[in-house]
């Protein structure tokens, strides 16, 4: 039994390391690793992620953001609705994740302004990086978007500083 567990653990570790290509002493993401750099053009994004170009912005766009490593963000987008999204819907975004710059390219292409989209920090099961979603983290995400006017919404979190101002 212990041998089977050990073998399974080794196979699991090997599967994670197979996603990177070693060049000299540095490790770089492979072609299938989701383009961490965010260098895809709008045309490439339209071919690879067409669902993002078909979003209905009537009730806004929800941009779900998660961190894969320190200051390495990925995100996915869904049309706004009057309901909370299920975990499965949010987790499914990891299969078509975007860099923040790619998400901004799509939002610009769709002519979505800051008041029509909401950034929602989440924790994705695909990320082993651990972080706590709170007011400080919301500020970190805002800075990653490079725009302090971005609406960052933390589900189930009330910023006590803002509440005391009222």
- For residues 28 and 22, what is the distance between their CA atoms, to the nearest angstrom? 6
Q: At what angle do helices 100-109 and 135-145 cross, to 10 degrees?
A: 60
The 3 state secondary structure assigned to 45-65 is: HHHHCHHHHHCCCCCCEEEEE
pLDDT tens string 108-142: 999 998 888 999 999 999 999 999 999 899 889 98
pLDDT tens string 72-110: 999 999 999 888 899 999 999 999 999 999 999 999 999
Residue 155: name the closest of 65, 74, 69 by CA. Answer: 65
Length of the chain: 166
pLDDT band at 2 (very low <50, low <70, confident <90, very high): low
Residue 145: name the closest of 110, 111, 105 by CA. Answer: 105
Inter-CA distances, 52 with 21, 30, 33, 55, 77, Å: 29, 24, 19, 6, 7
């Amino acid at each position: 039994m212990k041998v089977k567990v050990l073998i399974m653990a080794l196979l699991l570790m090997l599967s994670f390391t197979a996603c990177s290509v070693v060049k000299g002493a540095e490790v770089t993401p492979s072609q299938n690793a989701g383009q961490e750099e965010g260098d895809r053009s709008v045309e490439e994004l339209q071919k690879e992620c067409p669902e993002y170009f078909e979003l209905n912005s009537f009730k806004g766009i929800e941009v779900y953001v998660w961190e894969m490593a320190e200051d390495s963000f990925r995100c996915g987008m869904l049309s706004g609705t009057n309901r909370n999204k299920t975990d499965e819907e949010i987790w499914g975004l990891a299969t078509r994740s975007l860099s923040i710059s790619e998400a901004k390219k799509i939002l610009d292409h769709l002519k979505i302004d800051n008041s029509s989209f909401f950034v929602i920090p989440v924790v994705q099961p695909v990320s082993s990086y651990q972080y706590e979603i709170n007011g400080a983290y919301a500020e970190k995400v805002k800075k990653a978007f490079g725009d302090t006017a971005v609406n960052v919404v933390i589900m189930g979190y009330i910023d006590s500083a803002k509440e005391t101002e009222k």
